[in-house]
Structure 1
């Protein structure tokens, strides 16, 4: 029981560490218990989004990070048409793709996709101002009539729920899931900032799980 509590606490600390001061948050992850560490040589990066600018920036940014760790990395946009989708492929088609990748010495695929979008609301920051805090009960109650009619009382934002999976495509095995992480992208404003935050968080998570090496200085 104590070991289980220690494991939960350590995982919580890792998640909190990853989530500081960023537009992205590591919500949950899973690692294949049969794999302690990994040595990758060539990885295909697939970022699935209809926004080609975001996809291009993401794949190139992740490629740069992996190459700085002596891992050959190829963006999917370099070898597939922009309209290419993994979804909807038959087992035979996927096997053919894997055979081509294996023949070209790929040993893994990093596959990222947005799996959902969630709307959130928060109270407007202006209601933390002193004039809204320094009131009596009856004033507070009375003023709520105006507050509830104020369209600026709530601030709306979106959370994009993304999933990244690392698959082994070793020729002697079926597609084997090595690691999967669920990352929330909170109210993205800039493609560049969001991509940088996501890639930095993903790389840090893979380093912590000993699935890629730390960057060489």
Structure 2
């Protein structure tokens, strides 16, 4: 049985209040995909976010009996600070394969949308205020909640799993498109993002449901 490596590359966000799967696809030619060795790599200059993300995903994969490693156990902390050439990436793949890894999961932010939401204003009207003075007083600004705009961001993320020991026509195992909406905190974003990916991998029968 071929050994497996997942490299999860994600440009980490500060956090999010909502993560949803937009679409996903699994290679039907791959009937059994049993990863034995997993490398998780979060690409971000925020070392804290990277470590939290990798440890969270490692714990989830370990629950599925997948032997997982965080990237800081394999590479130095500056590994993700610069872009790599195709030759450097191929060399990296060969080195990883030599260490027993044979699959890659890549997650990247494909784009960011700026969104704006308008909340309409409203009056607080009390029907017990039947005198003119009370009625007039009700419609002054002190009793009016004005409308307002709130701005937020939607990050479009794509996660893909590749088997690095297969030819180009069979290497893609699974791909998922996800939206991360309105980041708030690192821990919330990481947990929800990881749980959403794991859940989708179970649904698509890439990994076994527990």
CA displacement, residues 60-110 of structure 1 (integer Å, 9 cap, x when unaligned):
111111111111111222212333249843333222211211121112222
The gaps in structure 2 that reach 5 residues or longer are: 1-16, 126-145
- How far apart, CA to CA, are the structure 1 residues paired with 2:167 and 2:181? 37
- For the pair shown, which has the larger CA radius of gyration, 1 or 2? 2
Aligned residue among 93, 104, 120 for 2:88: 93
Is the partner of 1:77 in helix, strand or coil? helix
What stretches of structure 1 move > 6 A for 4+ residues in a row? Answer: none
Conservation of the 8 A alpha-carbon contact between 1:43 and 1:110: no
- Describe how 1:1-217 pairs up with structure 2 within 5 A: 23-85=18-80, 88-124=83-119, 127=121, 129=122, 131=124, 153-170=148-165, 173-174=167-168, 176-215=171-210
1:9 maps to what in 2?
none
TM-score, L = length of structure 2: 0.73
Is the partner of 1:47 in helix, strand or coil? coil
| Aligned alpha-carbon RMSD (Å) | 2.4
TM-score, L = length of structure 1: 0.71
Equivalenced residues, count: 173
- How far apart, CA to CA, are the structure 1 residues paired with 2:44 and 2:114? 19
The gaps in structure 1 that reach 5 residues or longer are: 1-21, 133-149
Q: Which has the higher helix share?
A: 1
